[in-house]
Structure 1
Amino acid sequence: MRLGGPVSDNTTPDGWVAAVRGCGFRAAYCPVPVGSPDAVVHSFMQAAKQADIVIAEVGAWSNPLSPSPKERS
């Protein structure tokens, strides 16, 4: 089992990796906001892979039980 959580330094892939490791985590929330450029997302994905960090949660929330079709989707 990997433990993880949010970390405060997510401005660069190297800073994010250092912050995750500094907390003793091997998993973390997705460090980039929704809508970030693909190159930024890819750079954080590569940094996570090289550091053996699992990105455990991403900003893709929905409520599949909502009566509202828009919210369900």
Structure 2
Amino acid sequence: MRLGGPVFGETSNPDNWAEAVKNHGYSAAYCPVNSESDEATIDAYIDAAKKADIVIAEVGAWSNPISIDDT
């Protein structure tokens, strides 16, 4: 089992993000990028996670199933 949670600190690039995850004692983390990120950025975070043995365990995909708003 891996432990993950919110990461605070300098996380603006993949290496800093991976270091912050490890400094918090985690080996799992929320996805550090969003759906608007370009493929090179996504790949860089994936590579940093692999190098640091971090599992990206959760991605943002929130919706309200009872909302009448279809957008």
TM range (shorter): 0.7 to 0.9
Structure 2 alignment gaps of length 5 or more: none
SS, match of residue 56 in structure 1: strand
Partner residue in 2 for 1:52: 53
SS, match of residue 4 in structure 1: coil
Flag the structure with more relative contact order, 1 or 2, with Cα contacts below 8 A and sequence separation at least 6. Answer: 2
- State the alpha-carbon separation in 2 of the partners of residues 36 and 26 from structure 1: 23
Partner residue in 2 for 1:3: 3
Counterpart residue identity of residue 20, structure 2: A
Q: Counterparts in 2 of 1:1-73, with a 5 A limit?
A: 1-8=1-8, 9-63=10-64, 65-66=65-66, 68=68, 70=70
- Greater shift after overlay, 45-54 or 4-13? 4-13
- State the alpha-carbon separation in 2 of the partners of residues 28 and 53 from structure 1: 7
Identity %: 53
Q: How many residues of Structure 1 are paired with residues of Structure 2 in the alignment?
A: 70
Q: Normalized against structure 2, the TM-score is what? A: 0.82
Structure 1 alignment gaps of length 5 or more: none
Q: Tell me the C-alpha RMSD between the 2 structures.
A: 1.7
